[in-house]
Structure 1
Amino acid sequence: MSNFLRTTICAFLLSGCTYANSEPMPYKSWRLGFSAPNYMEVWIESADVVDIQDQVYPRAMSGAASILTPPNSSGDPRGWPKRAGWGKGKYVTGADLPKQIYVRWQSLVEPQTYQMVINISEATREVMRRGEKVFCSADGKWITGYREAVAVRLVPGGIAKVWVTGPCMPPIEVTTVKAVIDPRGPYEGKSGGHYRPLSAVSKAYVEKFGVPYGSW
């Protein structure tokens, strides 16, 4: 676990605040997923979770974020999606609902290393607990759906937008976070400043069109 995360957790615990809710989570586990705009490749070094019981789940997610790289630079990375997807990720097994999510990632098109803490409000957790009747067109059935997934979109410049969503459920935007640059660089300075390589198709797009800062 990084020193940044340890400091954040300790500061929160020493504050004496608690937001744990006695109402149980209505599903076995919730999902954490990440995406990035077309060609704007991201490598997640670590996404660590603190749940409402103050339990820490290090590296709840790591690796590449979900992304599309259409050939011939035909995709458009600008702006936020009209309907956010779940992103690439996994279920945080054993965890209660999230209180904080620490993310450290490499924005490969810049390249730059960012870190941030996403604070999940009690209002957001209430949305995640609340069941809604929803029609699933895929199988033609009405179900009780839950927004059991936290979807995070990471973009160049260190901006992250967060939604909660679920099967057959429309996503709800809950927060936007501005990350800080880690001056140590990738892998907490342990790689000698070397970033993961950008794919050829993304490199070709950036060389032709640049990074569309200001569109997010």
Structure 2
Amino acid sequence: MNKLKVMLLLGAMLGLSGCATGFNRLPYDAWYLGLGAPDFMEVWIETADAVDIHDRVFRRAMSGVAAINTPKSLKGDPRGWPERPGSGAGKHVRGADLPRLIYVRWQSLVEPQTYEAYIPIPENTQQAMIKGEKTYCQFDGKWITGYRNVVTVGLAPGGIARVWVMGPCLKPFDVARVQGIVVKLGPDSGRSGGRYALPLEPSSKAYIEKYGVPYGSW
């Protein structure tokens, strides 16, 4: 058996047995992958995949509608990013160790356009995710040891992906701004005949018609 086959076999065995053998050494059960978009800038996530530091792949860790605010009054402001972004719509990536790479393929419904982005998670971010910090939690009025166990990805028109890690009671840690690329096959890898997943909400459509898309603000 050649070296490559041995490595593939070992990787498969580790991927199957990681959770049961304590392969992951996180100070919490799982980290959360959440995705959001600026006000009115609606997004459909085709897939968000995660690769952990042991090169195990967790496909479709998240898919569907990103967290977004679409007020009927049109008083939202999609320009830029909030100082304290929310955790986003997502799921816990169970069985994974610290993330090494996040891959996202999404439909920017306001343009419309389909993008993909590869988001490397640097070592200093990984270390920030397992560093416990004493912090005051306003939710219950208690001092706790908190962890930044949430990875949030903000997706904006033009293929922009902005990434933070945060904890329920800890300030966000800015990770990266990544420029995605256009998926030439279009939505759903060409299987939908160019049809996008969802129509725009009436308030999003009205906002775009009145103010346009604030490219360059993200």
User: In the alignment, which residue of structure 1 is the partner of 2:215?
Assistant: 213
Alpha-carbon distance in structure 2 between the residues aligned to 1:200 and 1:184? 27
* Residue number in structure 2 paired with 1:103: 104
Distance 1:102 1:138 in 2: 32
Match of 2:184 in 1: 183
* Larger radius of gyration between Structure 1 and Structure 2: 2
Note if 1:174 corresponds to 2:179: no
Q: How far did 1:23 drift?
A: 8.5
Q: Which runs of 5+ in 1 are unaligned?
A: 1-9, 14-21
Contact 2:24-2:95 within 8 A present in 1 as well: no
Q: 2:135: which partner in 1?
A: 134
Distance of aligned partners of 1:23 and 1:34 in 2 relative to their CA distance in 1, 3 Å threshold: closer
- Displacement of 1:89 after TM fit? 0.6
Structure 1 match to 2:53: 52
Contact 2:24 2:97 in 1 (8 A): no
Residue identity over aligned pairs, in percent, reads 60
- Does residue 1:193 correspond to 2:194, yes or no? yes
RMSD: 1.6
- Quote the Cα distance in structure 2 between the aligned partners of 1:148 and 1:132: 12
Gaps of 5+ in 2: 1-7, 12-22
Q: Give the 5 Å matches for 1:1-216.
A: 24-196=25-197, 197-216=199-218
Letter in 1 for 2:203: V
Q: 1:183 offset after TM fit, Å?
A: 0.9
Partner of 2:18: none
AA aligned opposite 1:201: S
TM-score by length of 2: 0.87
Report the residue type matching 2:166 in the other structure: T
Give the TM-score normalised by the residue count of structure 1. 0.88
Q: Is the 8 A contact 2:110 2:200 kept in 1?
A: yes
Q: Which digits, 9 at most, give the CA deviation of each residue in 1:112-154, with x for residues without a partner?
A: 0000111011111000010000001121100000000001110
Moved over 6 A (4+): none
Q: Is the 8 A contact 2:134 2:145 kept in 1?
A: yes
Alpha-carbon shift at residue 72 of structure 1 (Å): 2.5
